[in-house]
Amino acid sequence: MSDRKQDDWVECLVAAEIAYNNSIQASTKETPFFLNSGQHPRLALEQALLPSQISNNPTAAARIEELHRHIERAKNALKVAQQRQTHYADTKRREISLEPGVQVWLSTEHLTLKDKNQTKNIA
């Protein structure tokens, strides 16, 4: 993601996937990884970046640090996107307070209802 032409995205896909699947989602308060597997991943990258664990192989250490930067960048991009989506969703929301017993209109546009005289669903 360092290339201004943005033609290096293929190199960042794995890091983006890890960042997304290991990011807590606002709606579920869990990570997709945890919801799919019931556990949080043990990322070798996190352990490898500890000062006492960095590889003696300069190429491996540089690659691990590069992947870690990609993951952090992807996490930050996800947070920004989530904030932007929240902002736009909030502009369409309005606070409504209803008292018990007040009648309201209900749209059935997205409900599947059965006619009591028919067994077939009507949309």
Dist. CA 20–CA 11, nearest whole Å: 16
| pLDDT in the model for residue 17 | 83
| pLDDT in the model for residue 103 | 92
> With the C-alpha atoms ordered 53, 71, 44, 13, is the resulting torsion angle positive or negative?
negative
Per the structure, the complete domain to which residue 106 belongs is given by 1-123
Q: Are 39 and 46 in contact (CB under 8 A)?
A: no
Dist. CA 46–CA 68, nearest whole Å: 8
User: One digit per residue, pLDDT tens: the chain, 123 residues?
Assistant: 445 666 777 777 877 788 788 888 888 888 888 888 888 777 665 555 554 555 667 777 787 778 778 878 888 888 899 899 999 988 888 888 889 999 989 888 888 877 766 655 555
| pLDDT in the model for residue 4 | 64
Number of domains in the chain: 1
| pLDDT in the model for residue 99 | 92
Question: Rounded to 10 degrees, what is the CA torsion of 10, 25, 30, 69?
Answer: 40
Pairing mode of beta strands 121-122, 113-114? antiparallel
